[in-house]
A and B are shown apart, each in its own frame.
Chain A
């Protein structure tokens, strides 16, 4: 006789562990494919550099990483510091540095490195987005189809752009009170071909190269309004009605002061 077993209860899953799982899923895809990191300021470039270095495979194979650094980017946000990289838990002798002057040269170097069997990951930091077209990233993606390896494209530009990258990230620094051995970041996954997008507060421990989800709350971007007040919003586009209203307010205040005088 078969006795119907009672339905198995769903495992109790906290919001935190669910979101932690989400981020682990998103991060696990970073070991191969093209990934773009969008930076808007030198501080974000520094955070993105840290994030990328934390994701690079730290083997004992010198010259397995190619770091293509577009020279204007070095003026903008400094060049990679060997001792800093070493203290960050990654051996600098694994890196082969390439410093092209132009964006086409940088993309060419990336393509050459993809084709080479001795290279495991490639990082390219590019300053402007004028020449970074969809075609350029598609070329990289097509080459990656035959040679699976990870390519991180760190691009500094004011606005977003379209690429064929599997994921788009933004890494912003975050204040971690009191914790000296960890580094805090706000990770935004702006585009994800294989899963949901999202934003997470994370902390990274250098000693064990552990990137961990640190807060269950999805963070909200804080922007300063024109009158100094804080506008909390998820989306930049919905700022425009607020700005328009503020402008009307300001004009009315001005007119009132004129009437008084």
Chain B
């Protein structure tokens, strides 16, 4: 057995979507598309089809037949959007859900159907759930995706037992072969109306007349050549979930279930000797909305308390929505990213405990403020003061050595001599702020300067420290002469003059780049 595939086809996706959004009946509605400067009907509501309107007529003709019809413009982006939301909601049945654009979904249900009482019950469950959400759907289950699609779109749907797919699709019209533009019309003119009739023709002649695509389509329907499907995202192997008979509406309840799920997940992780590096919590609402929230961890963890503590703020942020909307009937917690975790004996290794505690703090801070707001600092080997250090997210292990790494003997930062005088300020302006400075000689230190509309008189100055641009960089930076100056009150500034006088510029600009303590 290669697998089982379930195709869901939404015949009236646009109209159902309109009905949901506008909260109006779609009986009188027609879906129109602008083609060749005229509006054509491409979809019909219930009453419109009963009265005898057909797809393809122009809007003015349709209005003549049914004067009070409601016109709904086609909106492909909105349709795709709703299809994606439906695909997310279908992830409650199987992790592998693919879009079958523009109006279908393909589910790989291999090994999943027994969880829902068999394929018949599963198909019925899906159809009735979609009906409940307001989407008319036709469901087909087959041994290969091509046959499932053909049965759902062009046939009556239903569950086709294994090895009977081709006999089931044989009576379907040739459109089900999905031939290139015009292929189906040519076949119809030749008198070949169904898939079965086409399949009876000699294969070589068909391939010669219509190209290799028709042979491939027939092979795919027979299951001899499996059509690949591309799921929205890969299946997460570490997943635990809980279903509820009655939808859950209280935040406290959700948090307590997350606690249980974290416990289950940590058991699964611990048996494999792994820890979660990323968590994804999916809340499936009863009305089809799926809310997802994810958190990252600075180091792999399988501690259920920590996992719960990380997720709780996210759930509390969702609280108002959870309580006002329909409740949650399925919760799923997965770890899409995991990492190996060595077991540590907590009581003896105080340092390991400290690192774990610090990682917990980093996670908590990152969770609320974002990774770019919780940082550590690493030196970069360059003379340009603004590039000489980089702030990296504290959670990242990639930049330089893992951090914190107390055992490493190699110092990251250069060691200072006992009588060394600080050359770099304690506070650095990024970017440097312009000042108006007055120097006694063009190349000399400033005598006075104005910064933020306050004038300072320089008492002592030290310098210059000349920092030239890095010629191998693309950016065109001028040479800078840095001066450490102290004003009459003892304030210490780090000023620089940009541009060599006479060579690079005739009017060098002055900037303040930092403050000494």
The answer to whether A and B interact is yes
Residue of B nearest to A92 (CB): B377
Taking a contact as CB atoms under 8 Å apart, the answer to whether A176 and B354 are in contact is no
Taking a contact as CB atoms under 8 Å apart, the answer to whether A89 and B416 are in contact is yes
Taking a contact as CB atoms under 8 Å apart, the answer to whether B354 and A53 are in contact is no
Q: How many Å lie between the Cα of A81 and that of B372 in the bound state?
A: 17
A99-B373 in contact given A79-B430, A81-B428 (Cβ < 8 Å): yes
Query: Is A160 close to B, CB under 8 A?
Result: no
B residues near A98, Cβ cutoff 8 Å? 365, 369, 373-375
Query: Is A33 close to B, CB under 8 A?
Result: no
Residue of B nearest to A49 (CB): B426
B residues near A66, Cβ cutoff 8 Å? 361
A62-B365 in contact given A81-B428, A84-B426, A173-B492 (Cβ < 8 Å): no
Q: Which of B361-377 contact A (CB under 8 A)?
A: 361-362, 364-365, 368-369, 372-377
Taking a contact as CB atoms under 8 Å apart, the answer to whether A91 and B427 are in contact is no
Taking a contact as CB atoms under 8 Å apart, the answer to whether A78 and B429 are in contact is yes
Residue of A nearest to B356 (CB): A118
How far is the CB of B296 from the nearest CB of chain A, in Å? Answer: 17
Taking a contact as CB atoms under 8 Å apart, the answer to whether B403 and A63 are in contact is yes
Q: How many Å lie between the Cα of A89 and that of B319 in the bound state?
A: 48
Q: How many Å lie between the Cα of A84 and that of B420 in the bound state?
A: 12
Q: Which of A80-102 contact B (CB under 8 A)?
A: 80-89, 91-93, 95-100
Taking a contact as CB atoms under 8 Å apart, the answer to whether A173 and B369 are in contact is no
How far is the CB of A29 from the nearest CB of chain B, in Å? Answer: 21
Q: How many Å lie between the Cα of A211 and that of B77 in the bound state?
A: 68
Q: How many Å lie between the Cα of A66 and that of B362 in the bound state?
A: 10
Residue of A nearest to B423 (CB): A87
Residue of B nearest to A91 (CB): B413
Query: Is A184 close to B, CB under 8 A?
Result: yes
Decide if the interface of chain A is mainly helix, strand, loop or mixed: mixed
Interface 9-residue window, one of B136-144, B151-159, B200-208, B404-412? B404-412
Taking a contact as CB atoms under 8 Å apart, the answer to whether A83 and B389 are in contact is yes
How far is the CB of A51 from the nearest CB of chain B, in Å? Answer: 7
Taking a contact as CB atoms under 8 Å apart, the answer to whether B517 and A116 are in contact is no
B residues near A105, Cβ cutoff 8 Å? 368-369
B residues near A180, Cβ cutoff 8 Å? 421
Taking a contact as CB atoms under 8 Å apart, the answer to whether A78 and B427 are in contact is yes
Taking a contact as CB atoms under 8 Å apart, the answer to whether B425 and A81 are in contact is yes
Query: Is A72 close to B, CB under 8 A?
Result: no
Taking a contact as CB atoms under 8 Å apart, the answer to whether B357 and A78 are in contact is no
Query: Is B45 close to A, CB under 8 A?
Result: no
A residues near B391, Cβ cutoff 8 Å? 97
Query: Is B445 close to A, CB under 8 A?
Result: no
Q: How many Å lie between the Cα of A176 and that of B490 in the bound state?
A: 7
Taking a contact as CB atoms under 8 Å apart, the answer to whether B421 and A88 are in contact is no
A residues near B427, Cβ cutoff 8 Å? 42, 45-46, 49, 77-81, 84
Taking a contact as CB atoms under 8 Å apart, the answer to whether B389 and A96 are in contact is no
Q: How many Å lie between the Cα of A53 and that of B411 in the bound state?
A: 19
Taking a contact as CB atoms under 8 Å apart, the answer to whether B358 and A207 are in contact is no
Query: Is A233 close to B, CB under 8 A?
Result: no
Query: Is B12 close to A, CB under 8 A?
Result: no
Residue of A nearest to B369 (CB): A100
Q: Which of the residues A50, A118, A207, A208 comes within 8 Å of B426, measured between beta carbons? A: A50
Query: Is B486 close to A, CB under 8 A?
Result: yes
Taking a contact as CB atoms under 8 Å apart, the answer to whether A175 and B459 are in contact is yes
Q: How many Å lie between the Cα of A16 and that of B372 in the bound state?
A: 49
Taking a contact as CB atoms under 8 Å apart, the answer to whether B416 and A87 are in contact is yes
Interface 9-residue window, one of A107-115, A140-148, A188-196? A107-115
Query: Is A260 close to B, CB under 8 A?
Result: no
A119-B426 in contact given A43-B515, A97-B374, A176-B490 (Cβ < 8 Å): no
Decide if the interface of chain B is mainly helix, strand, loop or mixed: mixed
Residue of B nearest to A83 (CB): B424
Residue of A nearest to B374 (CB): A98
Query: Is B57 close to A, CB under 8 A?
Result: no
Q: Which of the residues B376, B377, B492 comes within 8 Å of A46, measured between beta carbons? A: B492
Q: Which of A124-183 contact B (CB under 8 A)?
A: 172-176, 180-181, 183
Q: Which of B187-226 contact A (CB under 8 A)?
A: none
Query: Is B419 close to A, CB under 8 A?
Result: yes
Taking a contact as CB atoms under 8 Å apart, the answer to whether A77 and B515 are in contact is yes
Query: Is B26 close to A, CB under 8 A?
Result: no
B residues near A26, Cβ cutoff 8 Å? none
B residues near A116, Cβ cutoff 8 Å? 357-358, 360-361
Taking a contact as CB atoms under 8 Å apart, the answer to whether A109 and B369 are in contact is yes
Q: How many Å lie between the Cα of A167 and that of B489 in the bound state?
A: 25
A residues near B394, Cβ cutoff 8 Å? 63, 96-97
How far is the CB of B277 from the nearest CB of chain A, in Å? Answer: 19
Q: How many Å lie between the Cα of A259 and that of B475 in the bound state?
A: 66
Q: How many Å lie between the Cα of A112 and that of B364 in the bound state?
A: 8
How far is the CB of B490 from the nearest CB of chain A, in Å? Answer: 4
Query: Is B117 close to A, CB under 8 A?
Result: no
How far is the CB of A206 from the nearest CB of chain B, in Å? Answer: 7
Query: Is B388 close to A, CB under 8 A?
Result: yes
How far is the CB of B363 from the nearest CB of chain A, in Å? Answer: 11
Q: How many Å lie between the Cα of A181 and that of B418 in the bound state?
A: 10
Query: Is B145 close to A, CB under 8 A?
Result: no
Query: Is B355 close to A, CB under 8 A?
Result: yes
CB 8 Å contact bits of A198-239 with B (1 = contact, 0 = none):
000000001110000000000000000000000000000000
How far is the CB of B465 from the nearest CB of chain A, in Å? Answer: 13
Residue of B nearest to A102 (CB): B369
Residue of A nearest to B404 (CB): A62
Q: Which of the residues A47, A61, A82 comes within 8 Å of B389, measured between beta carbons? A: A82
Q: How many Å lie between the Cα of A91 and that of B376 in the bound state?
A: 12
A49-B413 in contact given A78-B429, A113-B361, A175-B459 (Cβ < 8 Å): no
Taking a contact as CB atoms under 8 Å apart, the answer to whether B361 and A207 are in contact is no
Q: Which of the residues A50, A93, A95, A117 comes within 8 Å of B357, measured between beta carbons? A: A117
Q: Which of B502-517 contact A (CB under 8 A)?
A: 514-517
Q: How many Å lie between the Cα of A6 and that of B116 in the bound state?
A: 101
How far is the CB of A87 from the nearest CB of chain B, in Å? Answer: 4
Interface centre among B364, B394, B405, B413 (most CB of A within 10 A): B413
Interface residues, chain B, with chain A CB atoms under 8 Å away: 353-355, 357-358, 360-362, 364-365, 368-369, 372-379, 385, 388-389, 391, 394, 403-406, 411-414, 416, 418-430, 459, 486, 488-492, 514-517
Q: List 21 A-B contacts (CB under 8 A).
A: A47-B517, A50-B516, A61-B354, A78-B428, A81-B389, A81-B424, A81-B514, A82-B379, A82-B388, A83-B379, A84-B422, A87-B423, A88-B422, A95-B377, A97-B391, A100-B373, A116-B357, A116-B360, A173-B489, A175-B488, A185-B517
The 10 closest A-B CB pairs, nearest first, are A50-B517, A46-B515, A62-B404, A175-B490, A78-B427, A81-B428, A118-B357, A173-B490, A43-B491, A87-B422
Interface residues, chain A, with chain B CB atoms under 8 Å away: 42-43, 45-47, 49-51, 53, 60-63, 66, 74, 77-89, 91-93, 95-100, 105, 108-109, 112-113, 116-119, 172-176, 180-181, 183-185, 206-208
Interface contacts beyond A79-B428, A83-B385, A181-B421: sample of 15 additional A-B pairs, CB < 8 Å, sorted by A: A43-B489, A63-B394, A78-B430, A80-B427, A81-B389, A82-B379, A83-B389, A84-B428, A86-B413, A87-B422, A93-B403, A98-B369, A98-B373, A99-B369, A175-B490
